[in-house]
Amino acid sequence: MTHIKYIDGILHVEEVDIPSIAREVGTPFYLFSASQIEDNFLAVKNSVASFGGHVFYAMKANSNQAILKLLFELGAGFDVVSGGEYQRAKAVGCPGDRIVFSGVGKTKDEMELALTKGIRQFNVESFSELHLLNTVAGKLGLIAPIAVRMNPDVDAETHEKISTGKAQNKFGVPITRVEEFFQVASGLSNVNLLGLDIHIGSQITSLRPYEKAFGKVASLIREKNLQISRLDLGGGLGVTYHPIHDNPPKVGDYSQLVRNIFGDMNLEIEIEPGRFIVADSGILVAKVLYRKKGENRDFLVIDAAMNDLIRPAMYSSYHEIKPIRESIDKGNKKFDVVGPICESSDTFAENRNLPEFEPDDLMAFMTAGAYSTVMVSEYNTRPAVAEILVKGDKWACIKKSPTISDMINREIIPSWL
Ligand code: LLP
């Protein structure tokens, strides 16, 4: 069930109508449904419970403290990829044994932080990282729990920029060298190699790549007789951005696949979904500033820009656009929807069939809860927009927008200038 829908012709998030929030906070802003996040998380949690799986939410998708707190209370662990994300997990009270540390470029300081404050496992991506981690743990008199991330050389059939499991990608240890990794690790006294890890990409909309990659993992474990107790299957579950073109797998089918492949292996299975948990819980609300006739196309210039939502500019990604007032003339018009930033990549939609928006009309960019707020920039000195969370008929600001003076005052003019 979606928690973002029209009630009496006005788009609502749960029981709250969007125009009333817009009047108080001003556009553009992000708006999230707490109930949607809960539903998504519980759907995954309950589904993977069928094979005893644990969910480590990949907070890179959306790391707002309010959202992390909500998920933590529901039983989530966290997948982190920086010392900063690790500290975000800690700040909502998450114990170290519910945190998995991923990432291809962990620093010595990050290793020290996680080792001293507690960590369930580091997902190690190279031999050099293995040696550094062993040294850092040795100096602290600790043993680092680890899994090795393997690169299976499988195409996730997704956008090339978010594909991570092909041999040419920077991620993981090549599948051909995993056995050697186990041999090297067994000779090191300050690491404890507990498992294997894999993450082949994001926005995966078919089970096929998972089937291939997981099949390779299972064969490797059997053929090389790898002694492991844990298996981290990464994230990647796709969502529906385009109501017609995207048809991602159902969570239940994903779980069935995992059971089929690993069911008889007696492994503790971990997954790291990010997008699936938060994507459809969030929208970006913007206002039309101008309707503008170009030589051969019509533009809607809005008050949100690529700094607020970079995905269309960066990955040519599609976000459905809905009017806040459903009654807006349906028309049959094609528009380019663009922001105020001074470059042509500041385009949200090209030649899109949309209703007859007029200046001051509000619109929502749908499925904007993942990889949106976390990728905000302040390009063109545009303050990062406010984030609002709704639950039932309640709403609260969960991130304030900085004032322009806040932004200017962070910068320092040296005394010698
Ligand atoms: N685990 C690891 C090791 C990852 O690198 C990622 C995502 C995830 C889990 C979570 O994947 P998810 O379940 O969210 O697909 N900015 C891009 C997406 C980048 C994904 C990076 N890694 C976008 O806007 O589409």
Ligand 1 — pocket residues by CB below 6 A?
A: 58, 60-61, 79, 102, 162, 199, 202-203, 234-237, 272-276, 311, 315, 371
pLDDT of residue 67: 98
Could you give the angle at the alpha carbon of 397 between the alpha carbons of 309 and 288, nearest 5°?
45
Q: What is the C-alpha to C-alpha distance for residues 111 and 19, in angstroms, rounded to an integer?
A: 46
Question: Which of 60, 222, 226, 87 has its CA nearest to residue 148?
Answer: 226
Measuring CA to CA, which residue among 28, 34, 1 is closest to residue 278?
Answer: 34
Q: Which atom of ligand 1 is nearest to the CA of 204?
A: 15
Percent of the chain with pLDDT over 90: 96
Mean pLDDT of the chain: 97
Residue 260, both tokens: 């089929």
Give the tokens for residue 320.
Answer: 């459905």
Residue with CA at minimum distance from ligand 1 atom 24: 371
Pocket test for ligand 1, best of 44, 56, 60 (most atoms within 8 A of CB): 60
E strands in 95-217: 99-101, 121-124, 144-151, 173-174, 191-197
Q: Kindly report the backbone phi and psi dihedral angles of residue 77, in degrees, each rounded to the nearest multiple of 5, phi listed first.
A: -100, 180
**Is 80 exceeded by the pLDDT of residue 42?**
yes
CA of 62 to the centre of ligand 1 (A): 11
d(CA 347, CA 387): 22
Element (H, E) at 391: strand 387-391
Other CB atoms within 10 Å distance of the CB of residue 208: 14
The number of the ligand 1 atom at minimal distance from the alpha carbon of 314 is 24
pLDDT, tens digit (0-9, with 9 covering 90-100), for 235-288: 999 999 999 999 999 999 999 999 999 999 999 999 999 999 999 999 999 999
User: For residue 98, what pLDDT is reported?
Assistant: 98
Alpha carbon of 164 to ligand 1 centroid (Å)? 9
Atom of ligand 1 nearest to the CA of 370: 24
Of residues 355 and 327, more confidence is placed in 355
Least confident of 4-8, 34-38, 151-155, 383-387: 151-155
The predicted pLDDT at position 366 comes to 98
**Residue-level pLDDT at 293:** 96
Backbone angles phi, psi at 204, to 5 degrees: -90, 120
pLDDT at position 330, please?
76
DSSP-derived secondary structure for 203-225:
SB--SHHHHHHHHHHHHHHHHHT
User: In this model, does residue 399 exceed pLDDT 90?
Assistant: yes
- In the reported structure, the alpha carbon of residue 233 is separated from the centroid of ligand 1 by a whole-number distance in angstroms of 13
For ligand 1, what atom is nearest to the CA of residue 103? 3
Does residue 94 have an active-site annotation?
no
Catalytically annotated residue among 1, 244, 342, 412: 342
DSSP bridge partners of 399: 387
Beta bridge partners of 33: 390
**pLDDT, tens only, 150-184:** 999 999 989 999 989 999 999 999 999 999 999 99
Look at residues 380, 397, 381 and name the one whose alpha carbon lies nearest to residue 389.
397
Q: Which domains does the chain have, with CATH numbers?
A: 4-32+280-409 (2.40.37.10), 34-278 (3.20.20.10)
Ligand 1 mutation target, pool 54, 202, 270, most atoms within 8 A of CB: 202
Q: What is the mean pLDDT of residues 286-293?
A: 98
Give the mean pLDDT of 307-327. 96
Q: How many residues does the chain have?
A: 417
Instruction: Give distance in angstroms: CA of 273 to centre of ligand 1.
Output: 8
What's the number of CA atoms in the CB half-sphere (13 Å) around residue 320?
18
Tell me how far the alpha carbon of residue 283 lies from the centroid of ligand 1, in angstroms.
19
- Is 61:274 a contact under the CB 8 Å cutoff? yes
- Are 326 and 6 in contact, with CB atoms under 8 Å apart? yes
The pLDDT of residue 23 is above 90: yes
At 109, the amino acid letter reads D
Q: Are 113 and 83 in contact (CB under 8 A)?
A: yes
pLDDT at 327: 83
Query: Is 343's pLDDT higher than 90?
Result: yes
**Ligand 1 atom at shortest distance from the alpha carbon of 371:** 24
Q: Is the model's pLDDT at 64 over the cut of 80?
A: yes
Spell out the residues 6+ positions from residue 233 whose beta carbon is closer than 8 angstroms to its own.
Answer: 198, 199, 214, 258, 269, 270, 271, 272
- pLDDT tens profile 98-144: 999 999 999 999 999 999 999 999 999 999 999 999 999 999 999 99
Ligand 1 centre to CA of 78 (Å) is 13
